[in-house]
Structures are given as structure tokens and as C-alpha cells.
């Protein structure tokens, strides 16, 4: 494992279990099942969060390939009605055939299968963010560009690299919730979450790089 990188904080399975159950990808990386291992936390106003700690196994290779091979660019984002630079790098893949690692297509397919009843259209795009160190962050926002502004939707986040807190708070105000997402963990925001709750990844001291892969349905950013 990469120095400074840490396995999922929530990791439950033994290494043997992981080898036996993983959908392998040929380079040591793989996916563990979602059925029976996703826990849902219901939030207010029809929002929810699902967690699947340690979903991707052997994720070091995936991290390295994405860090060195994705088409990273600096980001500017509309926040609070202004276009602001965001301190992180991003890369967006609309077309699944062009995803920068084959395991991302396996992830997209597994998420589409697992959430088929709630999201019949399935997941389409992969948005990648690289937080180079603890100074990189994203401020409070909802993913409301496109249909997420008016419709319930889902955003599924695969976290790779250094663990970082992902915070959620009700849009109308209230206490925030902290989910620490580690190497290989899956966090899915669903229901009204993009409209009625906001999320953020705050600056953190003493952490290494983190990559977030967000799978979204068509027309949601």
C-alpha cells in the first residue's frame, strides 16, 4: 500500500474474504458485492445516504492510474450565484466507453444493477476530483446543475486515497453530519439530497492525495 494511504476506515472483511468475493479487474483491483452490505441512513425531507465501506479492493493501482492518467484540469464552479475557482483538479467522462480505467465501468454497471428499482435509467457519467493535499477542498453545495435542481436523483461517490471527511447539512440550516470516506469506500447520496441537503469536503491538515469518483445519471452534474 502507498505510504500515507490507509485502507478503508470501515473495512470489515478479511483479506481472504475479499479475494474470494471480489469481481476482479486483472490488475489486482476488484469490487466486493453491494447486496447485503450497503447501509442506509435516512435524512430529513426525503434525503438519504447509503454507505458501503471497502467496496473496491486492491485500489492502489486504480488510484495511481487515475492520478497519472486522467485528463485533469482546474475547476471553476458556480457557487452562491458566482463563478468561483475550486481548489482541486477535475476530469469529467460523459461517455462510459472512455472511462480512464476499466474498473470504473465495472463500478458504474454494478451501481446501475444494484439501484435499478430506485433509478431505472441507471448511472451514466463519471466525474473525477483530485484533492492534491489537505489544502484542496470543495465548499458547501448541492449538485444542482441539471435535473438535480428540481428532481430526486442519485450521486454515487467512490473515494480513493487518503481518508477525508465528507460533511452533509440541511440546506435550510441545522447540524452537519460527518462521514469519513476512506480508500475504496462508497457513499451514495439519494432522494432529495441534492436539493434539501448540501455537502462539502473541508480543508484538512496532514493528509495525502484523495480522488473522488462521482457516478451520476445522465443530465445531472
Positions in the binding site for ligand AKG (CB under 6 A):
127, 129, 138, 143, 157, 166, 199, 201, 212, 214
Question: Which of residues 21 and 196 has its CB atom nearest to Fe ion in the complex?
Answer: 196
Rule CB under 5 A: say whether 193 interacts with Fe ion: no
CB 25 → ligand AKG: shortest distance, Å?
Answer: 22
Return the one option of Fe ion, ligand AKG, none that residue 66 interacts with (CB less than 5 to 8 A, by type): none
Q: Select from 50, 60, 136, 143 the one that contacts Fe ion (CB under 5 A).
A: 143
Q: How far is the CB of 159 from ligand AKG (least distance, A)?
A: 6
The CB-nearest residue to ligand AKG is 212
CB of 1 to Fe ion, least distance (A): 27
Give least dist CB 76 to ligand AKG, A.
13
Cβ-based neighbours of 110, under 8 Å, separated by 6 or more:
23, 31, 34
Binding-site partner at residue 212 among Fe ion, ligand AKG, none, CB < 5 to 8 Å by type: ligand AKG
Name the residue whose CB lies closest to Fe ion.
143
CA 102 to chain centre: 17
Backbone angles phi, psi at 102, to 5 degrees: -60, -25
Using CB under 5 A, list all residues that contact Fe ion.
143
Amino acid at each position: 500500500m502507498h505510504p500515507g494511504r490507509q485502507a478503508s476506515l470501515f473495512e470489515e472483511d478479511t483479506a481472504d474474504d475479499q479475494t474470494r468475493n471480489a469481481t476482479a479487474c486483472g490488475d489486482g483491483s476488484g469490487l466486493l458485492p453491494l447486496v447485503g452490505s450497503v447501509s442506509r441512513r435516512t435524512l430529513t425531507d426525503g434525503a438519504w445516504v447509503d454507505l458501503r465501506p471497502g467496496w473496491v479492493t486492491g485500489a492502489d493501482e486504480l488510484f495511481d492510474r487515475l492520478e497519472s492518467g486522467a485528463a485533469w484540469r482546474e475547476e471553476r464552479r458556480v457557487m452562491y450565484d458566482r463563478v468561483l475557482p475550486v481548489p482541486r483538479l477535475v476530469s469529467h467522462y460523459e461517455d462510459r466507453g472512455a472511462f480512464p480505467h476499466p474498473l470504473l465501468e465495472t463500478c458504474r454497471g454494478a451501481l446501475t444493477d444494484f439501484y435499478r428499482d430506485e433509478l431505472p435509467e441507471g448511472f451514466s457519467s463519471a466525474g473525477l476530483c483530485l484533492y492534491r493535499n489537505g489544502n484542496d477542498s470543495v465548499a458547501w453545495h448541492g449538485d444542482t446543475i441539471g435535473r438535480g435542481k428540481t428532481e430526486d436523483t442519485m450521486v454515487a461517490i467512490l473515494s480513493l486515497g487518503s481518508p477525508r471527511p465528507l460533511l452533509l447539512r440541511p440546506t435550510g440550516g441545522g447540524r452537519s453530519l460527518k462521514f469519513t470516506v476512506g480508500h475504496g469506500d462508497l457513499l451514495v447520496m439519494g432522494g432529495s439530497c441534492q436539493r434539501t441537503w448540501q455537502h462539502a469536503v473541508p480543508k484538512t491538515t496532514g493528509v495525502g492525495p484523495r480522488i473522488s469518483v462521482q457516478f451520476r445519471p445522465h443530465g445531472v452534474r
